[in-house]
Amino acid sequence: MISVFHRRPLSVVVWMLLACACQMHPAVAGDAVTFALFTRGWPPFEMVVDGEPEGAALDIFRASMPDGVGTSVKLIPASRSMLRTPGDDIYTRLECREWIDDADNYLWSGPVLTLRTVLLSRRNRPVEYTDASSLHGLTIGCIKSYSYPEVEPLFRSGKAYRYDVNSDVVLLRMLKAGRVDAALFDQYTVRWIIRKSSELSMADFHVAARPLGSAELRFVFNRHPGWEARLPEIDARIRTNREDGVYERIMDRY
């Protein structure tokens, strides 16, 4: 039997080849990125309000991805675990390299936003931070499980005392009530909490002029094949946004 092959127009053949290629590679690097949002929240960056994801991190995420890249959000209790997910999906989070033990296993953008660790005290008993000795003998409120590299040596030596709580709001209440001498926050979180509170005011507190330290928030991505090639494009957009004040305007809304 002689097989007969019908001729197809060249355009149809090309279209079929492209369709097959898309099926073989369902997530061409850069088609879409999913932000893995921590369901327990990190206000004002990551929040769940009435079951819907919200927060400054999502606004920053959408403003930073290149044109043509689809963006979505997924609520995940162990959100960092998605960065270790193999396969065709691209996941990201807004993190500091210092917070991730195996940071070199992931792809990182350039700096997006600077987080500063600020020292708050009561307005009527202000504490200024000049160096470590200015904190000697103080009880300093901290968030449980958080690390504060600038003052950890003081805690280990017993020259200052760490008091852990589970909530930023509770910590501010304790500071206002005089149960701790000072407390540590990042500048955006403490501002957001006080803005949202009916019982707290910036007039209750003194913010030390000198931050204790700083860290750079960056986008971290799982190692998707081919995605590394798009990092320069993302970094260029981030630099432009920083120069134009895009991120600070986003934070001003929170």
What is the pLDDT at residue 27? 41
pLDDT band at 87 (very low <50, low <70, confident <90, very high): confident
What is the pLDDT at residue 30? 53
Residue 4 falls within a domain, yes or no?
Answer: no
pTM of the predicted protein model:
0.84
What percentage of the chain exceeds 90 in pLDDT?
A: 82
**Closest by CA position to 140, among listed 121, 166, 157:** 121
Neighbours of 193 (CB within 10 A): 18
Q: Whole-angstrom Cα distance, residue 2 to residue 48?
A: 66
Work out how many domains the chain is built from and give that number: 2
Given a cut of 50, is residue 18 above it in pLDDT? no
Both tokens of residue 131? 């160096």
- Contact indicator for 58, 41 with CB cutoff of 8 Å: no
Per-residue pLDDT, averaged over 231-251, amounts to 98
Q: Whole-angstrom Cα distance, residue 253 to residue 210?
A: 24
| 64 residue type, one letter | S
**Closest by CA position to 94, among listed 31, 42, 146, 48:** 42
Per-residue pLDDT, averaged over 102-118, amounts to 96
Are 182 and 129 contained in the same domain? yes
Residue 131 falls within a domain, yes or no?
Answer: yes
Per-residue pLDDT, averaged over 235-241, amounts to 98
Are 61 and 91 contained in the same domain? yes
Are 193 and 127 contained in the same domain? yes
Per-residue pLDDT, averaged over 118-123, amounts to 98
Per-residue pLDDT, averaged over 166-170, amounts to 94
What is the pLDDT at residue 207? 98
Are 80 and 148 contained in the same domain? no
Residue 15 falls within a domain, yes or no?
Answer: no
Residue 184 pairs in a beta bridge with: 119
For residue 41, the domain's CATH number is: 3.40.190.10
Q: Whole-angstrom Cα distance, residue 28 to residue 225?
A: 9
Are 102 and 219 contained in the same domain? yes
Domain that holds residue 246: 27-113+215-252
What is the pLDDT at residue 225? 78
DSSP run (H or E) holding 153 = helix 152-157
